[in-house]
Chain A
Amino acid sequence: MANITFPFPFPVILPVLPEIIVAVMAMVILIWDLFLPAERKQWTAYAAIATCLVAIDATLRTTGADAQMAFYGQFVLDPFAGFTKLLIIGATIYGIVLSLDYMKSEKNIGEYYSLMLFSMLGMMLMVSATNFIIMYLGLELMALCLYVLVGYQRDVLRSSEAALKYFILGSLASCMLLYGISFLYGLSGSLDFAAVGQALGSLGDNSSMAVSLGLVFIIAGMAFKVSLAPFHMWTPDAYEGAPTPITAFMGVAPKVAGFAILARVVIDALPSLQADYVTIFSWLAVLSMAVGNIAAIAQRNIKRMLAYSTIGHVGFILLGLIAGGPEGYSAMLVYLAVYLFMNMGAFAIIILMRREGIQGELLDDFAGMSKVRPGYALAMGLFMFSLAGIPFLGGFWAKYAVLIAAVHAGHLYLALIGILFSAVGAFYYIRVVKYIYFDEERVAFDFSENPLMQATVAVTAIVVVAIGIFPQPLMDICRAALGGIV
């Protein structure tokens, strides 16, 4: 046989190994599901978890201290991408574990887990993108899966409604993003972040309006994905309507991916616009913290409340991005990592509460939980205190990191506003604790006894406390994870 010669250099695929594994396994699960008898459909979930674990392993193995480029420099695997991928995969594992009981009675669960993997794949591609096209495609892959997952419970009206709203608004946001990208392409003639950054840096003053327009539209499109106010309006509805494990999943993973790629875009493609994007981000951060923390107070449904809490938290995370520099970006990563655990923990408790198939979602349902299930009550209390940023729990250090970074970067007023709203936010988190510990039980719930879930809750609680007591290792890791970009 003659040697096969490619008419073009064969792309390096090693850095893409985790993505390839996930893509292949997602499709395998999709097919395998067809051949599984109905009572064994649950196996697909375990296969999905195994895939995630293998992906974690592959990510750890392939990520080195240096950036590795692949696909003509459109894909990069650096410590930053590696770390955020680990967070994303971690969030996906949480999402799958939380789904185990919840989705047991649903139809098409093979497709469900497969879609979760595809969504994860989209996010993984997104955080590794160094090109607007790849970024956009990854983002769409993620979003499309999420639209379907949100509307997975077709028989539940508010689930379908939430999916439709999410889809329409998401499309609008994608349009904005594309429009912004097209402007930057028109200005620079390239779609690679680095090339765009160079071209924008050498542009004259007369183009500032077009640049601003591209900037605003790109940020608007991205802000939608991480639900920054005023692009947050879909969040409460989608959170409430989605199946709770999906709510947990989309409360964390897309935020990690969104912030990661946002950081990459502003660092690589928009360095010359720092003053502008910092101004925009400052407004978005203040608005998010205000809307998230204030509106959460008026909520009776805990999923809605946590939706607003997410909005408040992304406002805080944005402070890290505003601060910039190694300190700011690592603070952002610290916040994302801690947020992953405390948010997932809180949702795990919500999922554990169900009575005859009815999910406990109202704040009232938590009343008197401490007497029925003291262990869960303690864990929920810890998560709530952590979300509120009470020392010495993980959430405190996350807030501390971003606030200190903001102060050091000279954004004292933003930090003060952040502290003010975190004080407001403490109210509704601690209200949950009040319901749990000081109110009489109103509705009796029988709690799910899935040992995997219980172990998850326990481990999560320990992690939150451990980070609270020993924050340094996490901070060091996050600082090291910036190797690729700063």
Chain B
Amino acid sequence: MTLSITELLLIPALPLIAALLTGIFGWALKEKLSHLICCIGVIAAAALSVHVFLQVLDGASFHGNIWTWMISDNFIVPVGLMIDRLSAIMMVTVTIVSACVHIYTIGYMHGDPGYSRFFSYISAFTFSMLVLVMGNNFFTLFFGWEAVGLFSYLLIGFWFKRESANVAAMKAFIVNRIGDFGFAIGILAVFYYFGTIEYKAVFEAVPALVAADFSLDFMGWEVSAITFMCVALFIGAMGKSAQVPLHVWLPDSMEGPTPISALIHAATMVTAGVFMVARLSPMFEYSEFALAMVTVIGAITAWMCATIGLVQNDIKRVIAYSTCSQLGYMFVACGVSAYSVGIFHLMTHAYFKALLFLAAGSVIHAVMAEQDIRKMGQLRKYMPVTYITMLIGAIALAGVPPFAGFWSKDMIIEATMVRDMGWASEVAYWAVLSGVFMTAFYTFRMFFLTFHNSDRVDEHAKSHLHESPKVITVPLIILAVGAMLAGWWGVQALGITNAEMANNYFGSAIFVMDAHNPLITLEEHGSHGWYHFIFTAPFWLAIGGIGLAFFMYFRETTHPARIAATFPWLHSFLLDKWRWDEMNWKVLVMPARCLGNILWKKGDLGMIDGKIIHGGIVGTVLAGAAKLRNLQTGYVYHYAFAMVIGVFGLLTYLLLGS
């Protein structure tokens, strides 16, 4: 059974058309028309995605090229679609979250001078993300990859009059470039070794390449070709999905408007790396080293960002660090070959993290753009809907059953536990396990400080304090439903956690070697009933984290201050985010700037501009231009003479030559 190609093409086309319309004619459109166009485009795309998803559940799929963008010798760049169960679930997630964010934006951005520009950007972003997940080759992946990066940049710097927004946008872009460099090298290596960039052909050729045992010498280090490719591609994923040490841009990206934080920097774009690793599972499976690297990097990120999240005071930054941390979980899942669980966590995370961000946005909106949780408190009295939806999101994030986060996170931890990868999985297991406690703690710390504790809202903001309008609360409710049910639905209805890939939802979309598959091992340990969670550590750690937060922050206490005073060094170390920014500044930015300054002033201005360009090339050309202008005297006989000289010259040349 194949899918209707028109329907498939419409899914990315609708947001694109909407983006172009609002982007080009935005200056002429009223707010209402702008958001109508974009919302209709994206909601229709979401409806079509759901329809496609249902067909895919029935076993439909699509694979084919639609258009050849470029042919250069044997380098063929097709544009095509590959719709299977992996891309279908991504499409549904992306479009539904995007639709919610679109609706939410109507209320949130109301009155902003860049209103239609904003809608144009987020619709265009949706298009790019859909291209990324729907494509059937590395080129569409790369196109989507770069396009989402571009819109991320534009949206972080959306309030371009703010200095900090511009700096954050640039930081995001530059850090992503580092990752993209690795990514591009990976894609080129793929083309070099396989001679094609289509997923299917590449995947089919992988076993042969591994069997042939190609290896290359990379900076005096012997690596097998497949490892080289996977590592290079994963470096790209590290940039896009904010993994240590390229995670520094994500918290700063909170300078963008909150809907963006929800859509791009929590639910969709940052998960592109996880999607990529899962999509390329037939490649990663053959490289033990790459898998170990994915696991370790993910584990470090999961743990480190959780510790930073413990002490942050900016409501959006807490959630942002939590995003980094959760992305780490997803990578750990992929690293231990439980790709399906990783994607599962990606999906559940998309719902509850988008919910948390949008709820946070609602709060920020209510307290007059204040983001410091120390200046909030007791907000539950004013905004009950936000309160309840955010509570649902927090519980889901903390991993309390039966909410969405529990199902996926629990599976990750168990899979990590049973997978034997030497020290890598050991480290990862302890990191993700301790992460659960911290996650629960910082989530509820933020939650209690915002909605309970004592009332610290300043007077000015208090007079405006009110529940947000419907366009904001309705998406919250939709996402809250997702945050409650997505996990249960994924396990029970889709069977994402089934060990046998044949019985698993993903089926052939993800490739796992049986020897690697932790889910099989897990099943051998014995199947548990639904209540088994009571006997597992993660559950009790989550409860413990919530309990500690309750103890310290539900009412105003002096515990937090005392603890901070007891460990001042640790506290400031965490508060300064492990001093990554300072280190980057000293080790990378300063030397680069010095070098840049030298090259600019001495090399470019002095040598190239001054001596070569202005003295040499431009001088010659300008002198020639002046001479030629003087030749153009305006006298007919000069012109005629030039013609005669021309004839004479050519004739002489020919006669002498022959």
Please report A residues at the B interface, Cβ cutoff 8 Å.
164-165, 168-169, 172-173, 176, 208-209, 212-213, 215-217, 219-220, 223-224, 229-231, 233-234, 236-237, 276, 279-280, 283, 290-291, 294-299, 424, 427
Contact = CB atoms under 8 A, between A and B. Distances in A.
27 contacts: A168-B640, A169-B643, A172-B640, A208-B658, A212-B658, A213-B651, A215-B654, A220-B646, A224-B643, A229-B646, A230-B642, A230-B643, A230-B645, A231-B642, A233-B632, A233-B642, A237-B634, A279-B653, A279-B654, A280-B654, A290-B624, A291-B628, A294-B628, A296-B625, A298-B626, A298-B629, A424-B621
Contacts of B216: none
B639 A165 contact: yes
Q: Which of B626, B628, B650, B655 has the most CB of A within 10 A?
A: B650
B78 to A, nearest CB: 15
Contacts of A230: 642-643, 645-646, 649
B422 interface: no
Contacts of A172: 640, 643
B368 interface: no
Interface of B: 621-622, 624-626, 628-629, 632, 634, 636, 638-640, 642-643, 645-647, 649-651, 653-655, 657-658
A97 to B, nearest CB: 26
Contacts of B645: 230
B551 to A, nearest CB: 62
A176 B636 contact: no
Contacts of A231: 642-643, 646
A296 B646 CA distance: 21
B654 A217 contact: no
A209 B622 contact: no
A297 B618 CA distance: 11
Contacts of B622: 297-298
A321 to B, nearest CB: 16
Contact of A283 (B628, B638, B647, B653): B653
Majority SS at the chain B contact face = helix
A15 B197 CA distance: 51
B228 to A, nearest CB: 32
A295 B632 contact: yes
Contact of A297 (B621, B632, B646, B649): B621
B639 to A, nearest CB: 4
Contacts of A215: 654
- Leading 8 A-B pairs by shortest Cβ distance: A233-B639, A298-B625, A295-B628, A230-B646, A297-B625, A212-B654, A298-B629, A294-B624
A270 to B, nearest CB: 13
Contacts, number: 86
A320 to B, nearest CB: 20
Contact of B636 (A169, A223, A296): A169
Contact of A280 (B624, B628, B632, B650): B650
B647 A216 contact: yes
A294 B650 CA distance: 22
B640 to A, nearest CB: 6
A237 to B, nearest CB: 7
B629 A209 contact: no
A279 B649 CA distance: 12
A165 B637 CA distance: 9
Nearest to B69: A469
A108 B56 CA distance: 72
Contacts of A173: 643
B428 to A, nearest CB: 46
Contacts of B626: 298
Contact of A212 (B629, B634, B642, B655): B655
Contacts of A165: 636, 639
Nearest to B640: A172
B314 to A, nearest CB: 39
Contacts of A213: 651
A295 B655 contact: no
A279 B651 CA distance: 11
Contact of A276 (B621, B624, B643, B654): B654
Contacts of B651: 212-213, 216
Contact of A234 (B621, B639, B654): B639
A172 B643 CA distance: 9
A35 to B, nearest CB: 40
Contact of A279 (B625, B642, B657): B657
Contacts of A229: 646
B650 A220 contact: yes
Contacts of A212: 651, 654-655, 658
Q: Which of B634, B646, B653 has the most CB of A within 10 A?
A: B646
A239 to B, nearest CB: 12
A374 B622 CA distance: 31
A236 B632 contact: yes
Nearest to A236: B632
A167 to B, nearest CB: 10
Contacts of A216: 647, 650-651, 654
A339 B47 CA distance: 46
Contacts of B649: 230
Contacts of B632: 233, 236-237, 295
A212 B657 CA distance: 11
A220 B657 contact: no
